[in-house]
């Protein structure tokens, strides 16, 4: 069960990271952006780590306090869930 949870978080984290990269590229090119609602949705459903790392790596949305704080909180929550699932399913 732990591997399923880790796999899920890995996929959603990668999606969020890539979405931040794509949105940053589109912003620089004045192209079609990814709606903020979509960025938040992926972050809320397990992509908080990827969203936060992507935000920092690409310096995207860093001036928006709600993204800085929100993505950090979601990343920490994701880490706590992973730690809990490890403790429950591996060390149980």
pLDDT at 91: 86
pLDDT at 13: 98
In this prediction the pTM is 0.93
Q: What is the number of structural domains in the chain?
A: 1
The helix (run of H) or strand (run of E) holding residue 10 is helix 2-29
DSSP E strand boundaries for 5-84? none
Percentage of residues in the chain with pLDDT exceeding 70?
99
Tokens of 50: 């990827």
| DSSP, res 34 | P
Expressed as residue numbers, the domain containing 67 is: 2-89
| DSSP, res 43 | I
Going by C-alpha positions, the residue among 24, 33, 35, 26 that lies closest to residue 58 is: 24
> Residues 35-78: pLDDT tens digits?
999 999 999 999 999 999 999 999 999 999 999 999 999 999 99
pLDDT at 80: 98
């Amino acid at each position: 069960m732990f591997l399923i949870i880790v796999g899920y978080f890995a996929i959603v984290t990668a999606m969020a990271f890539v979405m931040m990269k794509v949105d940053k590229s589109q912003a620089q090119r004045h192209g079609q952006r990814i709606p903020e609602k979509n960025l938040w949705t992926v972050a809320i459903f397990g992509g908080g780590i990827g969203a936060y790392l992507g935000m920092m790596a690409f310096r995207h949305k860093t001036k928006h306090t709600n993204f800085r704080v929100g993505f950090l909180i979601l990343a920490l929550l994701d880490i706590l869930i992973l730690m809990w699932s490890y403790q429950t399913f591996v060390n149980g």
